[in-house]
Structure 1
Amino acid sequence: MTTSDRWDVTQSARVPGILGAARRAPAATAYPVGTVPPAQDSPPMANRPQDSSPSSRSELNAWLVEEMYEQYREDPDALSKGWQEFFADYRPDEAGSTTNGSTVTPEASPAPRKAVAAVPEDGPDPERIRGVAARIVENMETSLGVPTATSVRDVPAKLLEVNRRIINNYLRRTRGGKVSFTHLIAYAMVKAVETVPAMKNTFAEAEEGKPGLLRPESFGLGLAVDIENDDGSRTLMVPVIKDADTLSFEGFLRAYEDVIRKIRLKKLDPAMFSGGTITLTNPGTIGTVHSVPRLMSGQAAILGVGAINYPAEYQAADTRTLAKLGVGKVITLTSTYDHRVIQGAESGMYLSRVHELLLGKDGFYDEVFSSLGLPYEPARWRTDSTDVDSQTDLLSKQMKVGQLANMYRVRGHLIADLDPLRQRPPEMHPELDPTYHGLSIWDLDRDFLTDVGGSTQKMALGDILGVLRDAYCRTIGIEYGHVLDPEEKAWIREQVEGVDEDVPPEDQLWILERLNAAEAFESFLHTKYVGQKRFGL
């Protein structure tokens, strides 16, 4: 093994995921006259052009190596310690290599014809593409060597919307933070690999250059992140969540936000870009409905997430009409996979499993809620059963909404958040579950007459439940069903239903002052009357 070959092995073991095209081609070997060189289709193991590990062949972040290397040459101290160690023995590609003291230039093979536009003789000269953009061109052309196919599936987004709203409302009231649609969809995609493990298979070369298959025990999820540069241009980076399939949802959420924060703050490290097997891209954030992204060499699959919206034929309709008809938003998911090691049926089964998880099958949302410490049960998927042309059906649901509101006033305290130690799993009381009354998630956007929150008015069922849960099911449980005086019950409802939760800054300062005074008085009592029994404030 030559020195250059040894460098290839050690460097790819250190940061395999970002080398890709930046790795050096093996040294050409000079053979004595009269001997027959090995066949080209069965190169020796030490002289293979690339390492067989999938991560070492990834082209996604190869441009980053070149850019960081230029910065290293100008000012090594400007880079982090990890990059300095990486570039300590790094050497860029060279045109030729040396064997036994003589320079041998590999025989050039004819380059494939590229798809280029014809340049008019009287037109402007083409502008040369340089730097990162040139590396992207090279990566895209390299990706053409990967035979791919794409599966597409539309998934209802209604339950995803409802449960995300429940999660974020709880986080807003407690520790802060926010869960995005991408967080939940990405986690469902990771969990779906457990059912269809073929989706993490990668193509590799076996002995004698024969096609091979790698089946990793765990995999990293790459996140395609679009970065806007200072000059207005855009750059794609693909950091990796390591061992994504071993994380709980909370651990996955923390890892996701950690890599995104480092990218935004430009705190880059070589280890961030290695180990990716499946990549997630979300063009839906800019309104793209359906995307078929390119699959880079060394990757098993790349998953695309489209925009969440109503079907195009309904986007001009009134939202009240859509709610009445039970028309919900949908999301288009795509799976572009390496067809050499993943078959179309497997990709289709994989998207079907993602579909099932996003509809709550096998306790997907229960796991998410439990991981985040939510003291509630998630909403459940149920088909709509409303007859929009039947007045009897509409009146029946109106009556059931009134019954549901009364149950929250009487038994809402039974699901209040009164267990900070989480010693018992959350359990929904049957009479507080809308499905018990024949209501479903499709009724949440429909308007009903109600006296919740004050005077009689029309409100969407989702808003009615929000007011009732804020009043009776948060960190204070209120029970007044035993009160017989109607005026007293009406007064209690006025004080708790629909009350503005926002506390002005001056009131917050007053509360803080009173708490500090109480704490000071508590400390005084503890010092003055040591060992005496007393009630704490």
Structure 2
Amino acid sequence: MSVNTPNRTVDDFGSNEWLVEELYEQYKSDKNSVDQSWWPFFDKYEKNGNGPAAKTADAEPTAKTGAKPAAKTKAKPASQASAKSADKSDSSTADAAPDESPRGVSPSSAQTETLKAETKSVPKVVVKDTEPKPAPEETVTPLRGPAKLIAKNMDDSIEVPTATSVRALPAKALIDNRIVINSHLKRTRGGKVSFTHLIGFAVIRALQNFPSQNVSYDTRDGKPVMVSPAHINFGLAIDVPKKDGSRTLLVPNVKKAETLTFRQFVDAYDGLVDKARQGKLTADDFAGTTVSLTNPGGIGTVHSVPRLTKGQGCIVGVGALDYPAEFQGASQHTINKLAVSKVLTLTSTYDHRVIQGAGSGEFLKLIHSYLLGEDGFYDDVFESLRLPYEPVRWVPDVSAEDQDDVNKTARVIELIDAYRTRGHLMANIDPLVYRQRSHPDLDINQHGLTLWDLEREFPTGGFGAKPMMPFRSILGLLRESYCRTIGFEYMHIADPLQRRWFQAKIEVPHQELTRSEQGHILGRLNAAEAFETFLQTKYIGQKRFSLEGGESAIVLLDEVLNQSADTGIEQVAIGMAHRGRLNVLTNIAGKSYAQMFREFDGTMSPDSVQGSGDVKYHLGTEGSFTSPSG
């Protein structure tokens, strides 16, 4: 929390001003229910006359004078009133009866019987409500709290002369590159990148190269001025559910967004969303927004014209991502054949006093170009996330007439052969040095294919054990098989049967490890690393060959022996190299740590017939290996 928070004013929060009021009400009722970072702000908020005393105008008139409100008399239905009046008339008649006994004197039995007989002889009267029901009237509900402040902000926004520019763009490159990014993240560190992440980063990049949009209007010394902030504080509209089931909109901002890489921007964005969901946003998270992004497309809106609050010059709206309306009734096959892309509509609502329409149009055009991949936009995104491949390139579709379908099928078969021959040149086999790997023979554009072919189906010639596959699935399986962290080079083999054997083993979908399998592998690696660390610390100077650099051999041997045990193999002999031999003896062959440490200490087992030799790893061992699944 910044130490400057107490110096903030309500005006610094823009469209989030209602939040200050809501938190202040919580602060008054229970100070500890509000994050401590807000306390200095609310202390000054009360001292400046914004507390309860300053809001007596909202109270009832009776609260000022201290007079008690008049008691309210509840109106009775007409039927009840008629019935009661009838009862009173009956009682008055009874009071006037000459044979009624005086108060305090009991009537005689004869008088009582006479009274009962008269009462029975009177017919019972049923009073019906014949009055018409009142017509429904309008209900007036005063706006209070957040709703009241939102209405005030909307009233204030009327004073801002705004205009809006609208631009639609094809989202094909955006969609395909997001698929590549999220597939890589799923295989590596996890997480996901949303469309809003990419669009927001494109807006920030456009603001860097077109700063005339990152301005606001103000008056200084009674004169109108245009304010150009030092940084881009990028506001994000976040829809947050409340405890009572209602929803509210918060607009915190990413500070100095132009200084962040894409990965840093995603982390900052997700951090704000998490804080908003947990109710931990502070005053500084809201203050100083210069340009903001809203996403009405999440509810299917094609595009919107949002309101612009004071102190802000521009707000960008992201519409729905969908096929154009005229193609939404077409089949997917027709859409793929015609190369119809889903469309994204962007709007830029701006303060017309400091931003002109031509500039707003150029701004949206720049965002459009970035989302198509121009100026290395996706290259920078891939580099920030350390994707070892080139992004999908935006190019026009190649004509897909009937005669060209045959040519494209041949090009797909040609690409499959290229990956089998050159795929290892794009394999990501160097974990120490990052670079984007590419090869002309593996570029789909070099084979006359484009991103528009990704959804189209082609004959495979037996690849993937399927006669027909979408080109996206073909390309995905090729990269999965030949360009991940293992390189295969076997096409120089002359025997076609041997080549097909390799292809049958390599060209299969990647199988994800279960959580228990991942835990087992991690346990083997931890055991190997702990053993090496202990030897290096305890037996300094002892001659040995450590496992360093060969940790994966432990996991590989463990899996080979697991499968051997599952298939019923009774005996396995390991011809082990010097590197990592001690670790294999203990963690794979089953030699006890106690025996290993005795040998390092110079204490030999009495039944040893091999002698100690010059180094400990010359000693072998025998043991039994049981598969965890068996």
Q: For the superposition of Structure 1 and Structure 2, which TM-score range results when normalised by the shorter chain?
A: 0.7 to 0.9
What does 1:456-495 correspond to in 2, within 5 Å?
A: 456-495=466-505
What does 1:17-416 correspond to in 2, within 5 Å?
A: 19-20=10-11, 56=12, 58-91=13-46, 92-93=49-50, 123-207=137-221, 209-388=222-401, 391-416=402-427
Mapped to 2, the partners of 1:69 and 1:468 lie a distance apart of 59
Q: Is the 8 A contact 1:150 1:334 kept in 2?
A: yes
The 3 A distance-change label for structure 1 pair 137 and 121 is farther
Mapped to 1, the partners of 2:389 and 2:322 lie a distance apart of 27
Mapped to 2, the partners of 1:148 and 1:500 lie a distance apart of 53
| TM-aligned CA deviation for residue 400 of structure 1 | 0.4
| TM-aligned CA deviation for residue 158 of structure 1 | 0.2
Q: Is the 8 A contact 1:449 1:457 kept in 2?
A: yes
Mapped to 1, the partners of 2:464 and 2:455 lie a distance apart of 20
Structure 1 unmatched ranges of 5 or more: 1-9, 21-55, 97-119
Give the partner amino acid of 1:69. Answer: Y
Aligned residue in 2 for 1:430? 440
Give the partner amino acid of 1:125. Answer: T
Mapped to 2, the partners of 1:74 and 1:417 lie a distance apart of 59
Q: Give yes or no for the alignment of 1:15 onto 2:33.
A: no
**Greater relative CO (CA pairs within 8 A, separation 6+):** 1
Output one character per residue of 1:331-351: Cα deviation in whole Å (capped at 9) or x when no partner.
000000000000000000000
Give the partner amino acid of 1:164. Answer: R
Q: Is the 8 A contact 2:5 2:284 kept in 1?
A: no
| TM-aligned CA deviation for residue 215 of structure 1 | 1.4
SS in 2 for 1:276: coil
Q: TM-score, normalised by structure 2?
A: 0.70
Larger deviation, residues 264-273 vs 499-508: 499-508
Output one character per residue of 1:211-248: Cα deviation in whole Å (capped at 9) or x when no partner.
11111231201111111212222211110111112211
Give the partner amino acid of 1:445. Answer: E
Larger deviation, residues 266-275 vs 58-67: 58-67
% identical aligned pairs: 48
SS in 2 for 1:307: strand
Larger deviation, residues 190-199 vs 174-183: 190-199
The 3 A distance-change label for structure 1 pair 174 and 12 is closer
Q: Is the 8 A contact 2:6 2:40 kept in 1?
A: no
| TM-aligned CA deviation for residue 129 of structure 1 | 2.0
User: Which structure's CA Rg is the greater one?
Assistant: 2
Aligned residue in 2 for 1:42? none
| TM-aligned CA deviation for residue 141 of structure 1 | 1.3
| TM-aligned CA deviation for residue 531 of structure 1 | 4.0
SS in 1 for 2:465: coil
Mapped to 2, the partners of 1:488 and 1:521 lie a distance apart of 41
Q: Over aligned residues, Cα RMSD in angstroms?
A: 2.3
Output one character per residue of 1:443-471: Cα deviation in whole Å (capped at 9) or x when no partner.
11110011465324211111101001011
The 3 A distance-change label for structure 1 pair 69 and 495 is same
Mapped to 1, the partners of 2:546 and 2:257 lie a distance apart of 49
Mapped to 2, the partners of 1:198 and 1:504 lie a distance apart of 52
Mapped to 2, the partners of 1:234 and 1:504 lie a distance apart of 38
SS in 1 for 2:315: strand
Q: Is the 8 A contact 1:199 1:301 kept in 2?
A: yes
Query: How many residues end up aligned between the 2 structures?
Result: 464
Mapped to 1, the partners of 2:293 and 2:346 lie a distance apart of 11
Output one character per residue of 1:474-519: Cα deviation in whole Å (capped at 9) or x when no partner.
1111111222221221111111212342224454454344434544
| TM-aligned CA deviation for residue 275 of structure 1 | 1.3
Larger deviation, residues 283-292 vs 353-362: 283-292
Structure 2 unmatched ranges of 5 or more: 56-133, 551-630
The 3 A distance-change label for structure 1 pair 466 and 529 is same
The 3 A distance-change label for structure 1 pair 486 and 521 is farther
SS in 2 for 1:313: helix
SS in 1 for 2:14: coil
The 3 A distance-change label for structure 1 pair 454 and 195 is closer
Larger deviation, residues 74-83 vs 370-379: 74-83
The 3 A distance-change label for structure 1 pair 11 and 135 is farther
The 3 A distance-change label for structure 1 pair 14 and 491 is farther
Q: TM-score, normalised by structure 1?
A: 0.82
SS in 2 for 1:88: helix
Mapped to 2, the partners of 1:519 and 1:245 lie a distance apart of 42
